[in-house]
Amino acid sequence: MSTQQGRIVIVGGGVLGTMHAIHARRRGYHVVHLEREPEARGASVRNFGLVWVSGRKAGPELALALRARQLWEEIGADVPGTGFRPAGSLTLATSEAELRVMEEAVKLPDATERGFELLTADGVRAVNPAVRGDILGGLLCRADGIAEPRLALPALREYLGRQPGYEWLPGREAVALEPHAVRDQAGQWHRGDLVVVCTGAHFTGLLGPHLQATGALAAHSPDGTGLRRVRLQMLQTAPFEGTLTTSVADGDSLRYYPAYDVPSRDLLGPQPEVAAASRAQLLMVQRLDGGLTIGDTHEYDEPFAFDVDEDAYDHLRARAQALLGVPLPRTQRRWAGVYSEVVQPSAASASGLYHRSEVAPGVVLVTGPGGRGMTCSPAIAEETFL
């Protein structure tokens, strides 16, 4: 889609919808942006705010993440309120098996692109003095960054609102679609050259007939591929007295991320029972207010529970405390979230990294980036307008 004066209607006020608004305005389009809630409340604000390059799969996924990282840098410079900072990450080894995986990872052909460097325990503490626990070493990824999920979306909208050509319409739920148009619950039609629907993990309602008819849902496909929903649990502590100069991951993340699919990964051995049951890995980020965001878990079988599992939180807090080597502040809040992801392979996206499909002429659905949504949303949105 070339640069021109036209009209784009975006449904969904989360990070994917908002990044579409950013790119549409960059190309000179008038943007009408609908969100059913007064403020986005889904996966876009229930995450770490990580711009996570380190663990991405080699090939198209890494390329998408690296392009998104570049865009986050640009957007963060224009909109400081996003809280973007190029902090990097440290994945910490507490066993010889984990260290061997890291040793292989730094020898991969794309290790330089990821900014990988293997550090001794003393090297880890030189980079991040808050890590005082019993560790053997760590993997530094300089390409990783951090944004503030609770602050970024309002900051981006405030930035968009300072220029003409952007209309933010909260409290407007999309209830009907027709070519190049969407109708909200108040009966108003919003028409444009393109309607982009970014409604996250909502697979019923407005998009239910389309998803059912196209066979896009993993639950209804013979081979289990397509879109599915994933539930996670996270927590945030009161302000921590120290300063984490990077984000932090534990060795269990080596099991989860495809970048670490090296021969020695098979030697890691089993996780603790509670971690295996909740498919847990430790990720930890310090917020601008000093609190620590700690997670996360993965649940795939629906229906999801309405409550949260305290055993998983106990495990994650214990892991974080062991790596930091000091007591954690009290838990200030905890929550569950649900995001949508593509179970590969997917015919709906050439790369299989997310779902894109035409709902009607001039109406496109973009969803399913999975746990890479916060990271890759700027690049995914850019691809919509290429």
Q: What is the pLDDT of residue 2?
A: 41
149 with 115: CB under 8 angstroms?
Answer: no
As a whole number, the mean pLDDT across the chain is 95
pLDDT at 357 over 90: yes
**For the segment 221-268, what is each residue's pLDDT rounded down to a tens digit?**
888 889 999 999 999 999 999 999 999 999 999 999 999 999 999 999
Distances from the Cα of 43 to the Cαs of 35, 191, 198, 303, in angstroms? 14, 27, 12, 18
Q: What is the pLDDT of residue 221?
A: 84
The phi-psi region of residue 170 (left if phi > 0; otherwise alpha if psi is between -120 and 50; otherwise beta) is beta
**For the segment 292-345, what is each residue's pLDDT rounded down to a tens digit?**
999 999 999 999 999 999 999 999 999 999 999 999 999 999 999 999 999 975
pLDDT at 3 over 60: no
- The first and second tokens of residue 150, run together, are 């609770």
Query: Does residue 105 or residue 352 have the better pLDDT?
Result: 105
252 with 282: CB under 8 angstroms?
Answer: yes
Q: What is the pLDDT of residue 331?
A: 98
pLDDT at 45 over 90: yes
Which are the contacts of 81, defined by CB distance < 8 A and separation ≥ 6? Answer: 151, 152, 154, 155, 156, 158, 159
Q: What is the pLDDT of residue 350?
A: 45
pLDDT at 346 over 80: no
pLDDT at 155 over 90: yes
Q: What is the pLDDT of residue 163?
A: 86
pLDDT at 19 over 70: yes
Q: Between 1.10.580.10, 3.60.15.10, 3.50.50.60, 3.10.450.200, what CATH number should domain 7-384 receive? A: 3.50.50.60
Which are the contacts of 126, defined by CB distance < 8 A and separation ≥ 6? Answer: 119
With a pLDDT cut of 90, the percent of the chain lying above it is: 94
Closest CA relative to residue 292, chosen from 265, 262, 316, 261: 316
CA distance 221 to 210: 14
pLDDT at 349 over 60: no
Name the phi and psi angles at 259, rounded to 5: -60, -25
Q: What is the pLDDT of residue 142?
A: 97
Q: What is the pLDDT of residue 224?
A: 82
- 1 falls in which pLDDT band (50, 70, 90)? very low
- 361 falls in which pLDDT band (50, 70, 90)? very high
pLDDT at 56 over 80: yes
**What is the residue extent of each domain of the chain?**
7-384
